[in-house]
Amino acid sequence: MIDTIMSEKIDDIDIQILKHLQSDSSQSLDSLAQICGVSINTCWRRVQRLERDGIIERRVALIDNDKVGLPLTVFVAVKTDDHSAAWAEKFRSAVDKMPEIVEFYRLAGEVDYILKIMVASVADYDRVYQRLITKVSLADVSASFAMEKLKFTTELPLPPT
Amino acid sequence: MIDTIMSEKIDDIDIQILKHLQSDSSQSLDSLAQICGVSINTCWRRVQRLERDGIIERRVALIDNDKVGLPLTVFVAVKTDDHSAAWAEKFRSAVDKMPEIVEFYRLAGEVDYILKIMVASVADYDRVYQRLITKVSLADVSASFAMEKLKFTTELPLPPT
DNA sequence: TTTGAAATGGATTCGGC
DNA sequence: GCCGAATCCATTTCAAA
């Protein structure tokens, strides 16, 4: 049982539903209900609630990046010397508008930010990089190119039920 | 138009379908077909083909990590002094079995590997770390804790059609 | 107030043009 | 690529606990 910020609780059945939907959201309510040992109706109501409460954020199709010509993943570590809120907001806004940047976190420690960028080629990465540094000034940028994707999942480590 | 490894081509209509499904896979075929300007039937057959060819890898529900008690994201940079294939396979296999490790890449350059780990707390991260280093020996491990998730998307930057 | 069985109506699937 | 029938499935309703 997970205790959320909201007054709502997530019980074991919810966790089972979430586990299955985060692994495969294309299965029918019917099979989901059977796996979770509840009626279709109960299952439907719980899924509705999980969606309404934003526990299920969205349902998406995951696309093979290699097959659509985006084989290169780059991790970019950024340090800044400008720690003002205005600069941070400018950076955030610039990144937001760049679809090649798929992940973006502010970190504690040595490195201030990390970006994950998906592109077609090193040349393509350079174009993204150039575009970014014209929008916002970065003190130090260090790119690491991924040679091999060994694991990628959107499935969160939910507790065993 | 994207030229894939396979003999199959992805045309502008496919790209439109992919764009919409990677943003929201819950919409009906009907609305998808209308947006893409094709008949339901054509749309359905294209989606089938995209799934059969593995361009659409899977359909999943994305879950709010904060709301299920997993607010902490940690990026871990790993260096190794053992560059044998056997060691690499042992590492890969260990990571594969740990659901808290949601992403894992081999990198070019200074750092050999990067891991993205999602956990409930710093103490929880430490348990994952301890478990990992008992399974495989790592020369140097450096963890960076995410203070703020500024952007996360599974949507790939597909070309404008 | 919650639950599940059954009905409805809409969406999906797939053969044939 | 399009039509349309058959099927499947999400959602609503309703009755019972």
Give residue limits of the domains in chain B.
Answer: 2-52, 66-145
Residue appearing with tokens 């970065």: A138
Q: Please give the pLDDT value at position A8.
A: 65
Are A60 and B158 within 8 A, CB to CB?
no
Tell me the C-alpha distance between A137 and A82, whole Å: 9
Residues on chain B touching A1 (C-beta within 8 angstroms): none
Q: Please give the pLDDT value at position A161.
A: 86
Tell me the C-alpha distance between A135 and A104, whole Å: 16
Q: Please give the pLDDT value at position B62.
A: 98
Torsion angle of alpha carbons B2, B8, B14, B18, nearest 10°? Answer: -80
Enter the pTM of the model. 0.94
Q: Please give the pLDDT value at position A3.
A: 52
Torsion angle of alpha carbons B37, B41, B44, B50, nearest 10°? Answer: -80
Q: Please give the pLDDT value at position B29.
A: 94
Q: Which of B5, B114, B144 sits opposite A107 (nearest CB)?
A: B144
> Which of the residues in chain B have pLDDT under 50?
4-7
Q: Which top CATH class is B66-145?
A: alpha beta
Name, in order, each residue with C-beta under 8 angstroms of B41's C-beta and a sequence gap of 6 or more: none
**CATH code for the domain defined by A2-52:** 1.10.10.10
Tell me the C-alpha distance between B62 and A55, whole Å: 9
Q: Please give the pLDDT value at position B3.
A: 52
Q: Which of B57, B70, B147 sits opposite A63 (nearest CB)?
A: B57
Q: Please give the pLDDT value at position B7.
A: 39
Distance B41 CA to C14 C1' (A): 10
How confident is the prediction along chain A (161 residues), in pLDDT tens digits per residue?
565 544 468 999 999 999 999 999 999 999 999 999 999 999 999 999 999 999 999 999 999 999 999 999 999 999 999 999 999 999 999 999 999 999 999 999 999 999 999 999 999 999 999 999 999 999 999 999 999 999 999 999 999 98
Q: Please give the pLDDT value at position B8.
A: 64
Q: Please give the pLDDT value at position A114.
A: 98
How near does any CA of chain B get to the CA of A13, in Å? Answer: 14
